[in-house]
Chains A and B, each alone.
Chain A
Amino acid sequence: MIVRDVIDILEAEVVYEADLDAEILSACGSDMMSDVLAFVKDQSVLLTGLVNPQVVRTADMMDMHCIVFVRGKSPDQTIIDLAKERGITILKSRFRMFTACGRLYDAGLRGGCDI
């Protein structure tokens, strides 16, 4: 799966485009950034309902390629600027967290760990 597939599956709007051909190995969905940071497993997509610059910083620390803001939440310019600086694609999906994660799981994407 690549970022373009995530866009299709989540019927997402591209807020900031970095590398749309970046390979997506696994995903993580959480509003708690420390939970995201607790499992290092090449998680390439972060789905979150939290909207602040720390989401981009967390994704950057984890070497993720793509952030999806669920439930139609819009990131502000500070977030977009930071994503540009770090080369991370920002997407926005109208789906809620459960549905967004479920759609990606259904398409074959996994969490990258056994639990």
Chain B
Amino acid sequence: MAGLKLTYDISSAEDDFTRAGEASGSVKKKLRQIGYNPEAIRKVSIAMYEGEINVAIHAGGGKAQVEIAPDAVTMVLIDHGPGIADVEKAMQEGWSTAPQEVRNLGFGAGMGLPNMKKYTDSMEIETEVGKGTTITMVVKA
């Protein structure tokens, strides 16, 4: 279904961690303006925010493409970072490869991907070590 398409650049946390989360904040604002279902807004906000943080801290930045349709919001997060070596492990709560610096920032507790899965109706991970990761998440309205 055709919908409103939005594209965002996600900066690397090393360059500017202050800005990480800006894309998610902007999507949330947009959904509010449209008058989207509040429960769906919260799910989209949390899933996209976790995803955006991951792209910023693990992959040195990337892109987010969001499509808002009346029946669902689709979020695609694309990066050219290190890739996820073991997706199954990465999906386990508490499993993390994040270095101490990231933990000091309040993330890297191994909850990012599990939270994203929990709040979305579908989540697909395409990843290749050394090439990057693309995650597609859908939240139904």
Contacts and interface: CB of A to CB of B under 8 A. Distances in A.
Contacts of A34: 50, 106-112, 115
Interface residues of A, number: 22
A61 B115 contact: no
Contacts of B105: 50, 52, 54
A11 interface: no
Interface residues of B, number: 26
A61 B111 contact: no
A63 B21 CA distance: 15
Interface stretch (A1-9, A12-20, A35-43, A96-104): A35-43
Given A54-B53, A61-B45, A63-B42, A32 B109 contact: yes
B42 A57 contact: no
A38 to B, nearest CB: 5
Query: In terms of DSSP, what is the predominant structure of the interface of chain A?
Result: helix
A22 interface: no
B106 A52 contact: yes
A94 to B, nearest CB: 21
B30 to A, nearest CB: 14
A23 interface: no
Contacts of A32: 103, 106-107, 109, 111
B17 A54 contact: yes
Interface in B68-108: 103, 105-108
Nearest to A52: B105
A25 interface: no
Closest 5 CB pairs of A and B: A34-B111, A57-B21, A33-B106, A61-B45, A32-B109
Interface of B: 17-18, 20-21, 24-25, 28, 42, 45-46, 49-50, 53, 103, 105-112, 114-115, 118-119
